């Protein structure tokens, strides 16, 4: 892949991402893990740098980035910490949907705060009993005059511990399946909304992942973001881009891990010679370099297809699947090359949190198994794999 040609605005966003990653995320990422809390400092710094409306057109106050530039921005942020980066992905998707599909009431009341990062958005689709089968949601919304009454529970919500506005997907009529789903914007402080305790996870605590419960929550019908029969399709809009972004974040983590490993092995002495002189170490890291190159090529090929307006569903599935696997195995190899020191947090070593984040990448925006469903569907339909 040739180096992308970025506009001045896109380059400005990339420069801002590099500054936030270097000055804020990198120094604090281990703190968020140790304290098991949301990355408030990262979100605030990103908002100040104009990174909270990356997908919103410039005339609405956003950056208006295309897929390639967006992937580059998220690659830089995730090279420091995937959790902080993915928190911004979720917020940016919320703002994109609001700007593109919100009615005048929602735009007038929420868009400016969401663009500026004064409001923090979250996406509430998954439930305790409905993970990959997103259409099987049970959280219920019923119209009562000009209000929705909402009951149910949502799980695995990124930004849950800090979100102030929620894009909630609820079922209005179970007999209609996915055609009965509606999307409603809910203020997190609305009576009847309970913010559940954040999850204790292997890693990625900067995302503030958790859940919400809704008990007879009343929300005005004017807060409908996507109406019945259109909401599920709206939820799937941008899924190919989301998978490309996961691939780009894996590129960032793998790239950073490989650099740490090569620099550390060159500096470390073992049996009277540099560790980097050992062929076993060289070949181990050479394999990581090959997987990094393949991940980069798959990811940015899919991003370029999206940029050109072409069908990128298959390319995005390949990229996301390969990237998650390559990141996990590659980061583990980088850790192994450092011996026990690779397992130790702090002292400029991002490998432990990157390894946990690589495991996370196998789940977000469709599990590896869901990518296999997409790939197999194309394969057995006889569609082109080129």
**Which of 200-204, 256-260, 269-273, 354-358 shows the lowest mean pLDDT across its residues?**
269-273
Q: What is the CATH number of the domain that holds 85?
A: 1.10.540.10
Chain centroid to CA 230: 23
Categorize the per-residue pLDDT at 383 as very low, low, confident or very high, splitting at 50, 70 and 90.
low
SS3 track for the chain: CCCCCCCHHHHHHHHHHHHHHHHHHHHHHHHHHHHCCCCHHHHHHHHHCCCCCCCCCHHHCCCCCCHHHHHHHHHHHHHHCHHHHHHHHHHHHHHHHHHHHCCHHHHHHHHHHHHHCCCCEEEECCECCECCCHHHCCCEEEEECCEEEEEEEEEEECCCCCCCEEEEEEECCHHHHHHHEEEEEEECCCCCEEECCCCCCCCCHHHCCEEEEEEEEEEEHHHEEECCCCHHHHHHCCHHHHHHHHHHHHHHHHHHHHHHHHHHHHHCEECCEEHHHCHHHHHHHHHHHHHHHHHHHHHHHHHHHHHCCCCCHHHHHHHHHHHHHHHHHHHHHHHHHCHHHHHCCECCECHHHHHHHHHHHCCCCCCHHHHHHHHHHHHHCCCCCC
Q: 352 and 332 in one domain?
A: yes
Mean pLDDT score, 316-321 = 97
Half-sphere exposure of 378 (CA within 13 A, CB side): 17
Give the pLDDT confidence score for residue 41 in this predicted structure: 98
The residues near 325 (Cβ < 8 Å, ≥ 6 apart) are 362, 368
CATH of residue 223's domain is 2.40.110.10
> According to the model, what pLDDT value does residue 385 have?
54
Query: Per the confidence metrics, is the pTM higher than 0.95?
Result: no
User: Is residue 190 located within the same domain as residue 253?
Assistant: no
Asked if residue 190 and residue 297 are part of one domain, the reply reads no
Q: Please measure the distance between the N-terminal and C-terminal CA atoms of the chain and give it in whole angstroms.
A: 16
Average pLDDT over residues 68-77: 98
User: Is 140 among the domain residues?
Assistant: yes
- CA 307, 244, 227 angle in degrees (round to 5)? 80
Beta-ladder partners of 152: 214
Q: Rounded to an integer, what distance in angstroms lies between the CA atom of residue 164 and that of residue 110? A: 11
Q: Is residue 386 situated within a structural domain?
A: no
Same domain, 292 and 176: no
Neighbours of 376 (CB within 10 A): 11
In a domain? residue 179: yes
Supply the pLDDT for residue 338: 82
Mean per-residue pLDDT, 34-45? 97
Tell me the C-alpha distance between 203 and 36, whole Å: 9
- pLDDT for 134 equals 67
Structure tokens that stand for 239 in this block? 């899924």
Domain co-membership, 255 together with 219: no
Closest C-alpha among 322, 317, 364 to residue 125: 364
Confidence category of residue 238, pLDDT binned at 50, 70, 90: confident
pLDDT at 3: 58
Quick one: 210 and 250 in the same domain?
A: no
Structural domain contains residue 1: no
Look at residue 111 and tell me if it is in a domain.
yes
Q: Are residues 278 and 349 in the same domain?
A: yes
Provide the pLDDT for residue 382. Answer: 67
pLDDT (0 to 100) of residue 46: 98
What mean pLDDT do residues 227-232 have? Answer: 91
Of 229, 257, 285, the residue that ends a domain is: 229
Give the whole-number percent of the chain exceeding pLDDT 70: 96
The pLDDT > 90 percentage for the chain reads 82
386, pLDDT greater than 80: no
Domain boundary among 49, 84, 119: 119
Paired tokens of 37: 């809390």
For residue 305, being part of any structural domain is answered with: yes
Q: 262 and 137 share a domain?
A: no
341 and 276 assigned to the same domain: yes
What is the CATH number for 329?
1.20.140.10
Q: How many domains does the chain have?
A: 3
Do 166 and 208 fall within a single domain?
yes
In this prediction, residue 369 carries a pLDDT of 94
**Lowest mean pLDDT across 26-30, 263-267, 342-346:** 342-346
Mean pLDDT of the chain: 93
Mean pLDDT, residues 217-222 taken together: 98
Alpha-carbon span 326 to 70, nearest angstrom: 21
Q: Check if the beta carbon of residue 56 is closer than 8 Å to that of residue 63.
A: yes
Q: Which two tokens stand for residue 320?
A: 């996301």
Residues 247, 375, single domain; the answer is: yes
| 299 in a structural domain | yes
In a shared domain, residues 257 and 150: no
Burial of 367 (0-12, 13-18, 19+ CB in 10 A): middle
Structural domain contains residue 207: yes
Residues 125, 14: Cα–Cα separation, whole Å: 30
Instruction: Give every CB contact of residue 336 below 8 A, 6+ residues apart in sequence.
Output: 284, 342
Instruction: Provide the pLDDT for residue 340.
Output: 78
* 2: pLDDT strictly greater than 70: no
Residue ending a domain, choose from 69, 89, 119: 119
Mean pLDDT for 131-148 is 88
CB 184 within 8 A of CB 148: yes
Domain, as residue range, for 153: 122-229
């Amino acid at each position: 892949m040739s180096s992308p040609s970025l506009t001045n605005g896109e380059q400005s966003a990339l420069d801002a991402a590099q500054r936030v990653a270097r000055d804020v995320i990198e120094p604090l990422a281990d703190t968020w893990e140790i304290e098991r809390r949301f990355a408030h400092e990262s979100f605030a710094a990103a908002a100040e740098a104009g990174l909270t409306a990356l997908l919103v057109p410039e005339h609405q106050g956003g950056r208006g980035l295309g897929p390639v530039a967006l992937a580059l921005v998220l690659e830089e942020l995730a090279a420091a910490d995937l959790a902080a980066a993915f928190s911004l992905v979720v917020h940016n998707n919320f703002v994109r949907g609001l700007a593109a599909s919100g009615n005048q009431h929602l735009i007038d009341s929420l868009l400016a705060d969401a663009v500026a990062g004064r409001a923090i958005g979250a996406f509430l689709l998954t439930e305790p009993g409905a993970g990959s089968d997103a259409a099987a949601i049970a959280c219920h919304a019923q119209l009562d005059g000009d209000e929705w009454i909402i009951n149910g529970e949502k799980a695995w919500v990124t930004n849950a511990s800090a979100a102030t506005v929620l894009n909630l997907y609820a079922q209005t009529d179970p007999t209609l399946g996915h055609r009965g789903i509606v999307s409603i914007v809910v203020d997190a402080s609305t009576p009847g909304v309970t913010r559940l305790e954040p999850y204790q996870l292997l890693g990625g605590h900067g995302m503030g992942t958790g859940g919400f419960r809704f008990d007879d929550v009343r929300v005005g019908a004017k807060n409908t973001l996507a109406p019945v029969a259109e909401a599920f399709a709206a939820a799937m809009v941008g899924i190919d881009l989301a998978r490309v972004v996961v691939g780009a974040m894996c590129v960032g983590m793998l790239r950073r891990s490989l650099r740490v490993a090569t620099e550390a092995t060159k500096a470390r002495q073992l049996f009277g010679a540099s560790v980097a002189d050992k062929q076993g170490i060289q070949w181990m890291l050479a394999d990581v370099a090959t997987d990094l190159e393949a991940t980069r090529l798959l990811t940015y090929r899919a991003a370029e297809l999206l940029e050109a307006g072409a069908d990128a569903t298959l390319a995005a599935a390949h990229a996301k699947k390969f990237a998650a696997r390559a990141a996990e195995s590659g980061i583990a190899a980088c850790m192994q090359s450092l011996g026990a020191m690779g397992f130790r947090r702090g002292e400029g070593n991002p490998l432990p949190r990157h390894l946990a984040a690589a495991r996370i990448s196998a789940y977000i925006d469709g599990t590896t198994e869901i990518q296999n469903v997409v790939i197999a569907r194309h394969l057995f339909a006889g569609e082109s794999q080129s």
